[in-house]
Amino acid sequence: MLKIGHRGASAHFPENTLLAFKKAIDMGADGVECDVYRCASGEIVVIHDRTLKRTTGTSGYVARKTLKALKKLDAGNGETIPTLTELLDALTPKATVFIEIKATAAAKPTAKIITEYAEKHKVPYERMPVISFNAAHLKLVKSVNKDICVGLTPPVRASSLNTRFIAKAKNAGMWSVNPCIKVLDKDFVRAAHDAGLKIFTWTANTKPDIAKAYALGVDGVMGDWPEKL
């Protein structure tokens, strides 16, 4: 089972920074999960929110700032907002980088970056899976390169974890499904695996949730404390 640092080792270090990502691997994680947007100058940058307030203390939207402007901001502990290219340079192919698309504009550019790393740098697609709550985002990714591994995250409610959702994911060419650990159960895990889908669950930070993930036999678990996984 893959141990995945959620936004890096985000319980200890500023989330979605190169420091947090590298420390997650140092703490024993097999990979990390990150979030991406497209900024105003076209680069794909790693940040969770569409606004800058929570993580940098400044005003404005990520999509309206150039990379040059974003790089001047402090994302915590003197860290800057990284680009997806910087993250892949730092961790692949040793570690798996789960890339969550947060906005439509980021989908195709992200797919192009992944394709470049697969073709030029020989990074396996399984090391750069793309995930999203939005199936349309993943469809755009697949339109650029059908070989990219994509995973659909269901809404955070128990009613979404059913055979209809699994069939939807399989028919859409998904590689994985990524349910919240709080609503995950053995029937969903069994059905998803029977459909040939991998399961990566989030966010397991407590001992009961981590034990539950192992007991259910998921393919990977995301947590803010990588060392606990």
Q: List, by residue number, the catalytic residues.
A: 6, 48
What is the distance between the alpha carbons of residues 75 and 14, in angstroms, rounded to a whole number?
A: 7
**Is 185 within 8 Å of 161 (Cβ atoms)?**
yes
What is the distance between the alpha carbons of residues 153 and 150, in angstroms, rounded to a whole number?
A: 10
Fill in the DSSP letter of residue 16: T
Torsion of CA 66, 19, 151, 210, to 10 degrees: -150
Q: What are the start-end ranges of the H helices in 96-194?
A: 107-120, 135-144, 163-171, 186-194
What is the distance between the alpha carbons of residues 173 and 146, in angstroms, rounded to a whole number?
A: 9
Q: Which of 176, 184, 172 is nearest to 209 (CA)?
A: 184
